[in-house]
Amino acid sequence: MGIVVVEICDSNLMNTFDIENIIETEYPEVAVLINDCLNFCGLCRLKPYALVNNRRIHGKTPEQTLEKIKKAIEEELALFH
């Protein structure tokens, strides 16, 4: 498992593209977990979001959220380097 964990709800808009492959290819130190539910009831229907080391990251579009996820990953990895 990676030193950074990205969690995504299976029902979330972030699953409109292969986020697991995108993130894990670019960041081998990151583990992407797709969960049935992250217990933020209703949030997954309202906007795309993910948890990066338990920090909620969201945006208006899946693409914008992906960029914010990458920024959060970079910040987390900086703590380990």
Quickly tell me which residue has 């977990």 as its tokens: 33
Other Cβ atoms closer than 10 A to 79: 9
Per-residue pLDDT, 2: 58
Whether residue 47 is predicted with pLDDT greater than 50 in this model: the reply is yes
DSSP string, 7-60: EEETTSGGGGS-HHHHHHHH-TTEEEEEES--S-TTHHHHS-EEEETTEEEE-S
Percentage of the chain lying above the pLDDT 70 cut: 89
Q: What is the mean pLDDT of the chain?
A: 87
Supply the pTM of this predicted model. Answer: 0.87
Query: Quick one: three-class SS letters along 32-44?
Result: EEEECCCCCCCHH
Q: What is the mean pLDDT of residues 51-64?
A: 93
pLDDT value, residue 41: 63
Other Cβ atoms within 10 Å of 64 Cβ, number = 13
Tell me the pLDDT tens digit for each residue of 29-44: 999 988 877 666 666 6
pLDDT at 1: 44
